[in-house]
Structure formats: structure tokens, C-alpha cells
Chain A
Amino acid sequence: MSQSGAEGGKRFVLPASQFQQVFDALKRLGYQIIAPTLLDEAIVYEPVESVDELPAGFTDEQRAGVYRLKRRADKALFGYAVGPRSWKHYLYPPRQRLWQAKRDGNGGFQVIPEQEQIPRYAFVGVRACELAAIAIQDRVFLGEQHHDEYYRRRRENALLVAVNCVYPAGNCFCSSVGTGPRVQEGFDLAITEVLDGKSHFLVIEVGSERGAAVLEGVDVQTATEEQWQQAQQAVDSAARRILKHLDTTDLKELLYRHLDSPHWEAVAKRCLTCSNCTMVCPTCFCHTVEDITNLQGTVAERWRRWDSCFHIDFSYIHGSPVRVSEASRYRQWITHKLASWQDQFGTLGCVGCGRCITWCPVGIDITEEIRALRRSEEGRVAPTVPQEESHANT
């Protein structure tokens, strides 16, 4: 570390070839590193030991219903956008035991709270949209009235090493919802990767004392103004390459106006209600619980598991589910994400990461569905010929 010391708000530079030093420092501090790596032909967040496990030289092609890894011409460490897994996988695991109960032989039982060993996670490669997603889940699980202890214990100790997006994917629309591509807040360290043909380095911003402590053991130099500007330009160019757009004007009112829209039937013809979108979504928090017992019936366990509003039994009350039709379930999902979430938590439930579009097996695009709702209103207010129709007539 340079003589000046790594203080909050400071900017440093490290050659990409020396990035392992950051990993080593994290390990020395007792962190378990979770970072992007190749798994089953996708880039996912997994426990790693070395920078060699990062998907250097890979990028991802993403379109509606399409995800494909591609080779890059360079050796960029972070030259891709987000994959199917989000950090909620670690902060709010897909399956989590909540407690156990043991029979006491007296007609009763004793409840034993979960005593779990939780690693101190260091998340390396958290994108701006994902920082926003974590902040959103904080509001859900660390609310004023009720705290979820399982989430809190993971979240409190997690160190967030953010990465500025330089190569957005085809489904990214973070700029529409104000979450990216530049990381703004909520990180311990933030990295911008610069690769200009001649050099390959990382500009590192310090966002917290914990972040500064990591850099204590790393040979970083203070970034020059030129290096800082190069990093800024890289992120600026990323912002310009984000082509997907979600118009958020009046979004809540728009969706609330359309609870009875015939458009939901049109989506239901395509939607398989498979719940992929909710599994890959970094903010979706719905879960169910399962009770299991051992074969003797003396020990019972309560497990929590991710659930989805697309499942028909999600809304089941004696007799029948509330939301039987596919149309009502899609309407619930998108209305919650973009409208009622605002009433519940004061923000959108969408961070513009595009995962739900990429991983939808039939390529349903949340931004397109909103556009379709808006078009249906234009048709009513001022009768103009919709674009598709005029195209078909030519």
C-alpha cells in the first residue's frame, strides 16, 4: 500500500496481474471469497480461492430467452454482465433450516433455534444493479418492525467488492431505473477494470473502513488523474451501450390502472408460469416453509425455501387458490415488481439487471410488456394505428 494509506473515498490502482493480492488479503482477514466463475456454461457466483478461477477472457451474449458464453479477444477479468445467480443465493439461501424441534416424551417438545456457522463472505464482482438489489432486500428483511436474523447474520459480515460495468449485456436496463451502470454507494471497495491494449489495470475506490483494511496488505498505488479519467470513460461508454429502456414515468399508476387489462391474457398465452424469473431475480423474496420429521417422528425441522408467485398453490387458502389463472399470476408478479413494491418499500422492486428476460424460456420481456400496456392506452386516448399494424399493411 502506498504511504498515504487507504482511506474512505480514496482511489488506488493495481495492475490486473496483481489482483491475487486482494484475494490473499481477503483470505488473511478470514473472508470466504465468492466471485464469478464458469459453471455449467454460465458465469455464476461461487466460492473461489484464486483469481485464476475468474472467467478471464469470457463474455456473455444475452437476449430474451438467450444466454451464451463467448470468448473475448482480451483477458478482461470482468468483461461480462450478470449471470443466472445473484448474491441473494448467499444472503438469503434457496433452502435454509430455521429451527428444529425435539419430542420430550411428555407430550411436548423443545424448540432449538438454528445454530449455524456462517462464513464471513467477501462478494467480489458485485455490479451496481446488484448493490441496489441488496439494498432492496435489506428493506424487506431488516425492516423496522421485524428483522430476519438469518439474513442479518449473513448480511452484517459480508464485504462487498463492487465492479463497475464496462460491458453491459443486451438485457441490461439499469440506467432506466437509476441503479447503474456506475456503482454509487453501499460498497466496501469498488473496482473499475481498464484494458486499453497497452495496459491492464484496476482502479479501486474505497467505500468503507473495512474496505480500506483489505487494501492494507496490497501493493496499491494512488491512482493518477489520468488513470481515474480512463476508468470514468470506460463506465461512461458502458452507459451509452445500454440500449434497453424501461419508461418509469407514472409506472405505479399505469399498472394499477391496468388490473383488468386484457393484455394479461395475451401474456398468459406465452407465460409457462415456470418461475424462472423469480428464481433469478435478485430482489424476489417470497418463500414458503416445509416441515419435515425423522423416521421415528421424534425430531422435526422447519425449512424455508424460495417460492414463487407463479406457483398455483402460492395463494392457496382452503378450497382454492386465490390466483388460479396464469394471467392473474403474471399480473401479480409484474404489478408487485413495479407498482405495489413502491407502496410497500418505497422503491421499485426492479433493478434493471435483465435476468428475468434472459432466463425466461419463452423470452417474455418485462420492458416490452410495459410498453404494450402504454400502447394500449395510446390507442384509447388518441386513436392512432399501432406500429405493427401499419407495418403489416405495407
Chain B
Amino acid sequence: MVPRPFRLRQVRRETHDTFTLELEPADGSDSFCFRAGQFNMLYVFGVGEVPISISGNPTNPHVLMHTTREVGTVTKAMGKLRSGDVVGVRGPFGTPWPVEHAEGADVVIVAGGIGLAPLRPALYHLLAHRDRYGKIVLLYGTRTPGDILYRRELQRWRAQFDLEVHITVDRALSGWRGNVGVVTSLIARAPFDARNTVALVCGPEIMMRFTVLELQRRGVSPSHIYVSLERNMKCGVGMCGHCQLGPFFVCKDGPVFSYNKVQHLLEKREI
């Protein structure tokens, strides 16, 4: 499967090491449909290809958005791209967040750091169909106030009366008057009905494990907790073997899994 060329409309700096690419098809087609939680393989000419979750709005298929952090060769090259440049796109791949399954329930979204990026499409979906859900709660933790993604959007959402947004940072800097501590510390007092809640969780694996414990302590059933996992991926279609997690290919059986499906694997070391 070969990459489709997409032209960069805009590169938006989010934080000191993260940015969002806004892309549109360069081959004349006008839309890119995906479901919240899916990812693409993004290719930088001559440098390489990496899996990056889609962070834009699934109800607006005319612009494709990816937020990523500069961590490796490809993402660093990506950070140097300018509007008008072209990247290759293969996808969308993988399983979506179970937003339909969550209808009628409260939804609690727990994000750590860049983990907010794959969850943003789910938030867009929930807000676009607000009447189908109970309470919607976003719990978001970052290292420092400077690492908070989508600041303006979060402020806007926070000002809405139909969405709870709670943010915490590991290390406060001067001027921060918000919560300090790990994101799991927000779960105990978050307003949701644990018996009728679907939780969507994305962040570092250690953060997800403790988040799940805390959610379970509140009474959320493990079968109603969903996590998005990250593994090395080369193909995106279950053939290169790199993303295996026990019997699963994270690229096609995931990246979104119900927690009870993968719990026994995530508890093993180096699996």
C-alpha cells in the first residue's frame, strides 16, 4: 500500500516540543474519513514513516490533523516542515474509541501528556452528539503547565456548562494556580456515575495502569474502560509483526482495546 500525498496547510506549534499538522489531500480528492481513535502512517520524503494518531475532528473530513511530539528522526523532520510541503499518508488504521457503545452513559476521558491527541477526536464526537451522553468529564495531566496541549480549546470547553475539564500538572511553575499531582488524583472526586460510565484512557502505559486501578476503585467496570496502546509499527496492517502484544496486532486489533482484553498482558514485563 503506497502513501497518498497530502499538502500541509499549516503547522501549529502547541508546546515547546509538540506541534499539529493540518493536512489536505494533494491528489485532488477532497476528504479523508476516519473514526475517532484511529491512526495514520505519516511519511516524510526520504526520511521515514511513523504511526501517528489522528487528532482532528471526525465530523469535518476536509482537514486531517495530527499532533505529535518531536522524539525521533521522522517526527523531528516533520517539525521542520512548512505550509505547502507534502507528506505521505497511509491509513486510517486501527480500532476506534467506542463512542457509540458509550451512548446513554457518562463518559470520563483520562489523558496524560500527548495522550490527549488521540482522544480529541472522541471529544469532538461526544460534543457533536451531546444529547446522547450523560456527564462528560475530561481529566488531563501534563508534566508542567507549559506542556498543556490545545490550550485555547480547553479554555473554551471549560467555559461550556456541559463538559467538566480538570487539569493537573506534575510540576507547577510560578503563576500556576491549578492542581498539582498525577492525573489519577483527579479521579476520586470527578463527577461521574461509576456504575454507568465508559472511560477512555490514553497516556504512558504506567499512567494508564494506575488510572485503571483508580477507575476500578471508583467502581467502573474493566469492560467499560478503554485504553489506546502504542507499539513499534512498520506496516499498519498486521504483516510486519512489530506491534505484537500477545495474540494481538496493536495496529489492527488496537490501538484501542477494552482494558479487560489486554489487562493480563500489560501486567507482564517486556511482553
Kindly list chain B residues whose C-beta atoms are within 8 Å of the C-beta of A339.
247
- Secondary structure of the B side of the interface? loop
Once the chains bind, are A314 and B242 in contact (CB under 8 Å)?
Answer: yes
Dominant SS among interface residues on chain A: mixed
Contact B237–A300 (Cβ < 8 Å) = no
Which of B115-123, B177-185, B217-225, B228-236 makes up part of the contact surface? B228-236
Known: A111-B88, A145-B252, A314-B232. A322 touches B47 (CB 8 A): no
B239–A148 CB distance below 8 A: yes
Name the residue on B nearest A291 (C-beta): B48
B269 within 8 A of A: yes
| Cα separation A286 to B243 with both chains bound (whole Å) | 10
Across the two chains, which residue of chain A brings its CB closest to B8? A107
Chain B residues, CB < 8 A from A288: 234, 240, 242
Write out the residue numbers on chain A whose beta carbons fall within 8 Å of the beta carbon of B92: none
A191 to B188, CA, bound (A): 71
Residues 39-82 of B, flagged 1 when their CB comes within 8 A of A and 0 if not, give: 00000011111000000000000000000000110000000000
**Complex Cα gap A95–B226 (Å):** 38
Report A128 CB to chain B, min CB distance, Å: 25
Are B45 and A315 touching (Cβ within 8 A)?
no
- Chain A positions 135 through 161: 1 when the CB is less than 8 Å from some CB of chain B, otherwise 0: 000001101011010000000000000
The interface residues of chain A lying within 8 Å CB-to-CB of B244 are: 309, 332, 336, 340
B88 touches A101 (CB 8 A): yes
Cβ contacts under 8 Å, A325 to chain B: 270
Note all chain B residues with C-beta closer than 8 A to A265: none
Cβ of B85 within 8 Å of any chain A Cβ, yes or no, is: yes
Is B71 touching A107 in the complex (CB atoms < 8 A)?
no
Distance (whole angstroms) from the CB of B10 to the closest CB of chain A: 14
Given contacts A101-B88, A324-B270, contact A146 B246 (CB under 8 A): no
Q: Which A residues are CB-close (under 8 A) to B85?
A: 107-108
CB neighbours (8 Å) of B47 from chain A are: 291
Of all chain B residues, the one with the shortest Cβ separation from A341 is B247
Given contacts A108-B26, A322-B232, A340-B244, contact A101 B270 (CB under 8 A): no
Nearest opposing residue in chain A for B236, CB measure: A146
- Residues in chain A near residue B1, CB distance under 8 A: 146
Q: Are B5 and A108 in contact (CB under 8 A)?
A: yes
The reply on B101 being an interface residue by CB < 8 A is: no
Contacts of A335 in B (CB 8 A): 246
- B7 at the binding interface (Cβ < 8 Å): yes
CA distance A109 to B232 in the complex (A): 26
Q: How far is the CB of A65 from chain B (nearest CB, A)?
A: 26
Q: Does B240 lie within 8 Å of A286, measured CB to CB? A: yes
C-alpha spacing A148/B239, complex, angstroms: 9
B residues near A307, Cβ cutoff 8 Å: 234, 240-242
Any chain A CB within 8 A of the CB of B189? no
Q: How far is the CB of A149 from chain B (nearest CB, A)?
A: 8
CB neighbours of B26 from chain A (8 A): 108
Min C-beta distance of A393 to chain B, whole Å: 36
CB neighbors of B among A275-311 (8 A): 285-289, 291-293, 297, 300, 302, 307, 309
Residue among B48, B86, B234 making CB contact with A287, cutoff 8 Å: B234
Contact with B along A316-353 (1 / 0, CB 8 A): 11110011110010001001100110011000000000
CB contacts (< 8 Å) of B2 on chain A: these are 98-99, 111, 113
A: number of interface residues (CB 8 Å) = 49
Within 8 Å of chain A (Cβ to Cβ): is B271? yes
Given contacts A111-B5, A285-B241, A288-B240, contact A343 B232 (CB under 8 A): no
- Across the interface, which residues of A come within 8 angstroms of B271, CB to CB? 259, 322-323, 328, 332
CA A208 – CA B2 in complex, angstroms?
Answer: 35
Bound CA span A107–B86, Å: 6
Would B72 and A318 count as touching, CB distance under 8 A? yes
Which of A109, A146, A300, A315 contacts B239 (CB under 8 A)? Answer: A146
Q: Contact between B241 and A286 (Cβ–Cβ < 8 Å)?
A: yes
Considering the chains assembled together, what is the distance between the CA atoms of A339 and B271 in angstroms? 14
B231-A322 in contact (CB<8A)? yes
Q: Does A260 contact B (CB under 8 A)?
A: yes
Residues in A with CB closer than 8 Å to B232 are 314-317, 322
Instruction: Kindly provide the distance from the CB of A346 to the nearest chain B CB, expressed in whole angstroms.
Output: 11
A205-B235 Cα distance, complex, nearest whole Å: 40
CA distance A285 to B237 in the complex (A): 13
- Please report the C-alpha to C-alpha distance between residue A101 and residue B46 in the assembled complex, in whole angstroms: 8
User: CA A336 – CA B249 in complex, angstroms?
Assistant: 12
* B3 located at the interface, meaning its Cβ lies under 8 Å from any Cβ of chain A in the complex: yes
Q: Which A residues between 102 and 130 are near B, CB-CB below 8 angstroms?
A: 103, 107-111, 113
A323 touching B270, Cβ below 8 Å: yes
From known contacts A146-B238, A146-B239, A317-B230, infer whether A291 and B5 are also in contact, taking CB-CB under 8 Å.
no
How far apart sit A175 and B234, CA to CA, in the bound complex (Å)?
A: 35
How many angstroms from the CA of A147 to the CA of B232 in the assembled complex? Answer: 21
* Contact of B238 (CB < 8 Å), options: A98, A143, A291, A317: A143
Nearest neighbor of A146 in chain B, beta-carbon distance:
B237
Chain B residue with Cβ nearest A299: B46
Determine how close the nearest CB of chain A comes to the CB of B227; give it in whole angstroms: 15
Query: How many whole Å from B37's CB to the nearest CB in chain A?
Result: 17
Complex Cα distance A248/B176, Å? 61
Binding site for B on A (CB under 8 A): 98-99, 101, 103, 107-111, 113, 140-141, 143, 145-146, 148, 259-260, 285-289, 291-293, 297, 300, 302, 307, 309, 314-319, 322-325, 328, 332, 335-336, 339-340, 343-344
Which B residues contact A (CB, under 8 angstroms)? 1-5, 7, 26, 45-49, 71-72, 84-86, 88, 230-232, 234-235, 237-242, 244, 246-247, 249, 252, 268-271
5 of the cross-chain contacts (CB-CB < 8 Å) are A98-B2, A143-B238, A315-B231, A318-B71, A319-B71
Interface contacts beyond A291-B47, A323-B271: sample of 15 additional A-B pairs, CB < 8 Å, sorted by A: A109-B45, A111-B4, A145-B237, A145-B238, A259-B268, A285-B239, A289-B49, A297-B46, A300-B46, A309-B241, A314-B242, A322-B271, A324-B270, A332-B244, A340-B244
CB-CB nearest 5 A-B residue pairs: A286-B241, A343-B247, A328-B270, A108-B86, A293-B46
